[in-house]
Structure 1
Amino acid sequence: MSRIDQRVAFFAIRRHGTTALDPAGEWTPEVRTETGWVSERPVCVGGEPVLRVRLDHPTGDGDAEIEILTNVPEDEAGAAVVAVLYRGRCAIEGAFHELTVARRCEVNTLGYPKAALFGFAVAVVGYNVLAALKAAMRAVHGADVVAS
């Protein structure tokens, strides 16, 4: 993380249980977001804050709380904004998972980089068509019917 910071770049990385941190302050008061409650405190990783997000609904792994390490300046995006944007990445990961499954975990490269890029682009377009069809079906028949 310090190397990212040295390059004047920003990050928002989920902290997992094996990452040891030394708190350098107290948790701030919690702020309500669309998916839960967010608070932050500085930790001894270059003085960067860790955000704690208590979720209204657990993640797919059953976690009711997640922690996000970030070096995004407070004046650029506060803790609540970072937490909401980070949680939005789940939709992107879900799209890539569905794309991977639909393509049986591989995109045929055809032996050429440009062909690989074209094959990937076709797969993404295919995913977008599938997503549009599912959205239309949910609008007409309801999410419960389409999910099953």
Structure 2
Amino acid sequence: MVVLEPLSKLVTDIFLLEDGHAQERSEFDSVLKKVEAKDLWCGDRNFCTLKFLFTIQEKEAFFVIRQHKGMGFKELEELKKIGLTETGELFEQKVEINYEGKTLTLRRIVLKLFTPTRDKEWEIGIFSNLPESISAAKIAEIYRNRWTLESLFQTVTKNFNGEIQTLAYPKAALFSFSMALVAYNILATLRGALGGVHGVEKIEAGLSNFYLVDEIQGTYRGMMIAIPTSEWEIFQSFSTDKIAQLLQKLSPGVHLKKFLKATRGAKKPKVPVIYDRKKGHISTNRLLEEYNQQKKRS
């Protein structure tokens, strides 16, 4: 599980699970330890558990979590129509949830979509404990921007080869993925520096991660050959602020046209994935544990 800071686009934390069959919820206690007062945590429906929401509330933090169908709640009022967004009609109501004898009043935001999601869903429910001063439209926007996390995984997979394609020891696979996240953070830092000079909207809309990574990889190899190691040592003493100033100083010289996204044609229909029930998903971690157990018995 990866924690992404939405403004900087930086990965700030990661929770590693060696068992490929393990549920994310098995690590929720580790996630909750990171919650601090006044934080705002946004997550998909898998994070919609009573303990998760109540713990965030108890730590005086906030959440915007998509409603899970299995989450029970008591309606305190009827749904009220708030208005329209780009994607659908917006509604809101107050609801109550109970956990271990405690009650919590929440805002339930419902977005009735004009077009269904890829899972053929026409409605999205969101639970939040944000104050009334934050509009329902803003809460819906906060959840919508959570999809930035999906683009992170796409970037890590396609540009940094973060997932080992062959069978590997769990720790090796997780180490490879973690290093890919470090590379992603470097890329996010560069994009942030370019956005500060050329405009954030221009960078977000038009800059291709693929072309940018390809340029860095090629240039880096040449620079390592042409420039002695001693010339790079000065950067070890630079503070974060000084590095940021250097990147901003260099950013105006970047020719963005070289790194623009290619114009995309019409999307091709997605080919459905065919699953073989006889050959299900295998957890390498569990195979190793079984092997070690057999070894001990013998």
TM-score tier (shorter): 0.7 to 0.9
Q: Partner letter of residue 137 of structure 1?
A: A
Judge conservation of contact 2:155–2:209 (CA < 8 Å) in 1: no
- Cα contact 1:11–1:70 (8 A) shared by 2: yes
Q: What is the RMSD computed on CA atoms of the aligned residues?
A: 2.9
Percent of residue pairs bearing the same amino acid type:
22
1:27: how far off? 1.0
Alignment of 1:89-128 (within 5 A): 89-90=146-147, 92-102=148-158, 103-105=161-163, 109=175, 119-123=180-184, 125=187
Work out the CA distance in 2 between the residues paired with 1:108 and 1:5: 31
Give 2:85's aligned residue: 33
Cα distance in 2 for partners of 1:30, 1:131 equals 42
Superposed displacement of residue 30, structure 1: 3.3
Give the corresponding residue for 2:210.
130
Question: Normalized against structure 1, the TM-score is what?
Answer: 0.75
Q: Which has the larger radius of gyration?
A: 2
Contact 1:30 1:38 in 2 (8 A): yes
Q: Secondary structure at the match of 2:60?
A: coil
What one-letter code is carried by the residue in structure 1 that aligns with 2:120? G
Residue 104 of structure 1: how far off its partner (Å): 4.9
Q: Give yes or no for contact 1:35–1:84 (8 Å, CA) kept in 2.
A: no
Deviation digits for residues 66-123 of structure 1 (CA, Å, limit 9, x no counterpart): 1000001111x21111012211212x1321331353225367737xxxxx86542324
Give 5+ residue unaligned stretches, structure 2: 1-52, 98-103, 165-172, 189-207, 213-257, 269-298
Q: Name the CA distance, whole Å, in 2 between partners of 1:10 and 1:129.
A: 32
Q: After the TM superposition, which residues 1-148 of structure 1 pair with which residues of structure 2 at under 5 Å, given as runs?
A: 1-45=53-97, 46-75=104-133, 77-90=134-147, 92-102=148-158, 103-105=161-163, 109=175, 119-123=180-184, 125=187, 129-130=209-210, 136-138=261-263, 142-144=264-266, 147-148=267-268
Q: For structure 1, which runs of at least 5 residues remain unmatched after alignment? A: 111-115
Aligned length: 135
1:118-143 alpha-carbon deviations (Å, 9 max, x no partner)? 542324539x62287896212xxx44
- How far did residue 57 of structure 1 move? 1.9
Rounded Cα–Cα distance in structure 1 between residues aligned with 2:137 and 2:184: 34
Aligned pair in 2 of structure 1 residues 104, 32: CA closer, same or farther (>3 Å)?
Answer: same
For 1:80, what is the secondary structure of its paired residue? helix
- 1:44 is paired with a residue of what secondary structure? strand
Q: Provide closer, same or farther for how the CA distance between residues 120 and 15 of structure 1 changes in structure 2, counting only shifts above 3 A.
A: same
Query: What's the TM-score, normalizing by structure 2?
Result: 0.40
